[in-house]
Structure 1
Amino acid sequence: MKKNVLIIGAGGVGQVAAHKCAQHNALLGDIHIASRNIKKCLAIIDSIHEKGSLQNPRGVLKAHQLDAMDTAAAQRLIEQTGSQIVINLGHAFVNMSVLEACIATGAAYIDTAIHEDADKICEAPPWYANHEWKRKGRCAEQGVTAILGCGFDPGVVNAYAALAVQEYFDKVDSIDIIDINAGSHGRYFATNFNPEINFREFTGQVWSWQDGQWKSNRMFEVQRTDELPVVGTQTAYLTGHDELHSLSQHLDVPNIRFWMGFGEHYINVFNVLRNIGLLSEKPVRLDNGQEVVPLQLVKAVLPDPASLAPGYVGKTCIGNLVKGSQNGQPREIFIYNVADHVEAFAEVGSQGISYTAGVPAAAAALLIAQGTWDVRRMVNVEELPCQPFINLMNRMGLPTHIREAGREDMLLGWDEPETEAAQA
């Protein structure tokens, strides 16, 4: 059994994961939070104490300053804290440095997004092959558990895809992952995650998996409208996204696409920023000789995503629309979760988007701690047993539902042995 958790990153997702780990610290052991800005870590610790989140009130809960781009520093912190599980919730540029520290120390590794090279946008698919999967052999040789992309999307939607293929269909023709945030933060314009990472998703090519091969489109070129549970009629746009790049390689499904909801206001502001060059990552020289990266300037003037939480209202709906056949008959199901921004803030002090990303990461830590997911190799979520993951999230605040032929059911889970994670 592994214990003692180091959470790297003190944004909104880090806050959620820290609260959820604290709620299960009887099993997980010591909880450490690290960031370049230690004040953010200390604020999360204050929030955990204020809400009484520590399951074991005498448990260790400490803050640390760390530059996660420094592999040696990350390795030292892992060793100093005795952390056997690392949840990497820093920005996507630090993934490989943190993973290298885990390989060196033997600590289990969890992240929620694919690694990005700061000098490259929208690399050739499949994206995981450009960085993460090159380290598969070393993880296996060292017996290091590395779980990639274990937020909601990627993460939970990968488990939903595996569930559909394994339990609901004989043959799957298509998986359409639909991500809708029907909430409102009351600001003129903001992003729910790090603006620099968020905008990078939308400025490159849109890659999707169609007819068993990669297809490229432009952002906002293809759209669809669906009538979804709770959030109603919503328009979403074909978008490139992490999970397509592993699901396409691990599941025998010819069509896998990702769709994200955007309002007209967001699209208009985004297009203005892009068209006048403010989303560029290339430095520009000002009249006084100073160089500025436009995208970093935009990030600096936009609201901190974590600051949106107090005023956020509404709900999210994220799920997989799966079509195929079973017993020779056509079948279509929608496997999904609905999260509430207000409820998330009341529980952990973060908005619903952060909640949907942070809870799965903490659930993965619990499954590693009690051995179910401690596989001692590198995997994407769809390669792991999905039943205990979905069962655990049902109890941790992210219940799964299934809609089929107009009928809505909560996926209550499967019979399974009572594990320490279930008891915690």
Structure 2
Amino acid sequence: MKKNVLIVGAGGVGHVVAHKCAMNNDVLGDICIASRTQQKCDAIIESVLRKNHLKDTTKKLYSRSVDAMDIPSVIQLIKDTKSEIVINVGQAYVNMTVLEACIETGVVYMDTAIHEDPDKVCENPPWYANYEWKRKERCAEKGVTAILGIGFDPGVVNAWCALAQKDYFDTIDTIDILDVNAGSHGKFFATNFDPEINFREFRKVWTWIDRKWVLQKVHAIKVDYDFPVVGNCPVYLTGHDELHSLSKNIDANSIRFWMGFGEHYLNVFSVLTNIGMTSEKPLKIAEGVEIAPLKVLKALLPDPASLAPNYIGKTCIGNFIKGTKDNKPREIFIYNICDHAECYHEVESQAISYTAGVPPVAAAILIARGDWDVKHMVNVEELDPKPFIELLDNMGLPTEVIEKPATFAAPVIESL
């Protein structure tokens, strides 16, 4: 049985991970939160203690400072803290250094997003094959469990795909992953997670159509869908992490990702992009200083974690899946509804961070129990989805299934 958790990253998702780990520390053991800025870790610990979430007070909850881009430093931190499970919720730039440290020390590795090279934006698919999957053999040789993309999307939506393939369908034609935030944070403009990572996604759209990769423009294809609870919302075809593993591991003709954007968001984003503020390429200003406009924009926008106190409304994330069962057509919508205000009441977080932060803790519990400690590298859809979904039902992210939902009518999508 593995125990003692090291959380790398002290942003909004790390905040939720720490709360949920503390609430399950009778199983998970000691908890260390590490970030380049230790003060941010200490603020999370204060929140955990304020909410009285440390279930077993004989276990430690403490912080450390670490440069997650420095492999020897991460290795030493793992050894010093006697951690056997590492949950990486830092920026996607640190994935490979943290993974390397986990392979070297033989401990469990988990992350919630695909790796990104700071100098490469929207690389061509399949993204996992560029970085993570190259380390599969070494993980297997050393018996290291590495679970990739164990947030919500990617993460829970991958598990739903596995569940659908296992229990609901004999054949799957299309999977449409739909993510809409119908909440309001009260700010003129903000992103719900790291603005730098957020805006880097919106350069081009790679999607999986008729078993091949198709390239499309960003925010070019729109569908209105009548979601449960939150109602009719517009969603736009978008590239996303989970497509790159689901296209390999799930037998479906087409797998697409759609994200909800309001008109105001798109207008502001368009202006920022057109004047160059979303560019990651450094430029020299009059004083001779070089700086990337995107980093300036990130500094100007609200910290996603700061949005939580005043956030209202709900999110809906779900998979609309179409196929056959017993030679008959079948359509289902498998989904979760999450309430911003309820998340804040429970863990002082907004729902976007909550949906991403709860799943890795559920996975850590399954690893500690031995259910998911598979001793090699996997994406979530390669694991048994049922114990994971059952845990999430009891941890604040219940799964619902609708048979014959409102039809999702996507247009014909062709490559540019």
- Shared topology, TM-score over 0.5? yes
**Per-residue deviation at 1:281?**
1.1
Cα distance between partner residues in 1 of 2:291 and 2:213: 35
Q: Structure 1, unaligned stretches of length 5 or more? A: 408-424
SS at match of 2:357: helix
Q: Counterpart of 1:208?
A: 207
Change beyond 3 A, Cα 1:131–1:406 = closer
Q: Counterpart of 1:346?
A: 345
- Indicate the RMSD between aligned Cα atoms, in angstroms: 0.8
The code of the aligned residue for 1:259 comes to W
Q: Could you list the per-position Cα deviations for residues 369-417 of structure 1 after superposition, in whole angstroms to 9, with x for gaps in the alignment? A: 110000000000000000000000001000000011359xxxxxxxxxx
Map 1:10-409; keep pairs closer than 5 Å: 10-202=10-202, 204-405=203-404
Cα distance between partner residues in 2 of 1:396 and 1:225: 31
**Per-residue deviation at 1:262?**
0.3
Greater mean alpha carbon deviation, residues 57-66 or residues 76-85: 57-66
The code of the aligned residue for 1:240 comes to G
The code of the aligned residue for 2:176 comes to D
Q: Could you list the per-position Cα deviations for residues 228-261 of structure 1 after superposition, in whole angstroms to 9, with x for gaps in the alignment? A: 1010001100000000000000111110000000
SS at match of 1:186: coil
Q: Could you list the per-position Cα deviations for residues 7-37 of structure 1 after superposition, in whole angstroms to 9, with x for gaps in the alignment? A: 0011110010100000010110000000111
The code of the aligned residue for 1:72 comes to P
Q: Could you list the per-position Cα deviations for residues 124-173 of structure 1 after superposition, in whole angstroms to 9, with x for gaps in the alignment? A: 10110000000000000000000000000000000001111110011100
**Per-residue deviation at 1:286?**
1.1
Change beyond 3 A, Cα 1:341–1:135 = same
Q: Counterpart of 2:411?
A: none
Change beyond 3 A, Cα 1:339–1:393 = same
Cα distance between partner residues in 1 of 2:370 and 2:405: 38
Q: Structure 2, unaligned stretches of length 5 or more? A: 407-416
Cα distance between partner residues in 1 of 2:213 and 2:99: 28
Tell me, yes or no, if the aligned pair for 2:321 and 2:332 is still in contact at 8 Å.
Answer: yes
Cα distance between partner residues in 1 of 2:361 and 2:217: 35
Cα distance between partner residues in 1 of 2:100 and 2:166: 33
Cα distance between partner residues in 2 of 1:346 and 1:176: 32
Change beyond 3 A, Cα 1:240–1:406 = closer
Change beyond 3 A, Cα 1:224–1:138 = same
Tell me, yes or no, if the aligned pair for 2:330 and 2:404 is still in contact at 8 Å.
Answer: no
Cα distance between partner residues in 2 of 1:334 and 1:68: 39
**Per-residue deviation at 1:58?**
2.2
Cα distance between partner residues in 2 of 1:293 and 1:233: 38
The code of the aligned residue for 1:41 comes to C
- Identity within the alignment, %: 63
TM-score by length of 2: 0.97
Cα distance between partner residues in 2 of 1:124 and 1:224: 25
The code of the aligned residue for 1:229 comes to P
Cα distance between partner residues in 2 of 1:391 and 1:190: 33
Q: Counterpart of 1:415?
A: none
Q: Could you list the per-position Cα deviations for residues 31-63 of structure 1 after superposition, in whole angstroms to 9, with x for gaps in the alignment? A: 000011111100111111110101102210001
**Per-residue deviation at 1:290?**
1.4
SS at match of 2:252: coil
Q: Which runs of 4+ in 1 moved over 3 A?
A: none
The code of the aligned residue for 2:125 comes to P
Tell me, yes or no, if the aligned pair for 2:146 and 2:377 is still in contact at 8 Å.
Answer: yes
Cα distance between partner residues in 2 of 1:127 and 1:41: 30
Cα distance between partner residues in 2 of 1:75 and 1:306: 28
SS at match of 1:254: strand
Cα distance between partner residues in 2 of 1:282 and 1:112: 25
Cα distance between partner residues in 2 of 1:165 and 1:183: 31
Cα distance between partner residues in 1 of 2:367 and 2:352: 24
Cα distance between partner residues in 2 of 1:25 and 1:260: 34
SS at match of 2:109: strand
Q: Could you list the per-position Cα deviations for residues 77-97 of structure 1 after superposition, in whole angstroms to 9, with x for gaps in the alignment? A: 000000000000000000000
The count of aligned residue pairs is: 406
TM-score by length of 1: 0.95
Q: Counterpart of 1:421?
A: none
**Per-residue deviation at 1:282?**
1.1
Tell me, yes or no, if the aligned pair for 2:112 and 2:356 is still in contact at 8 Å.
Answer: yes
Cα distance between partner residues in 2 of 1:48 and 1:276: 41
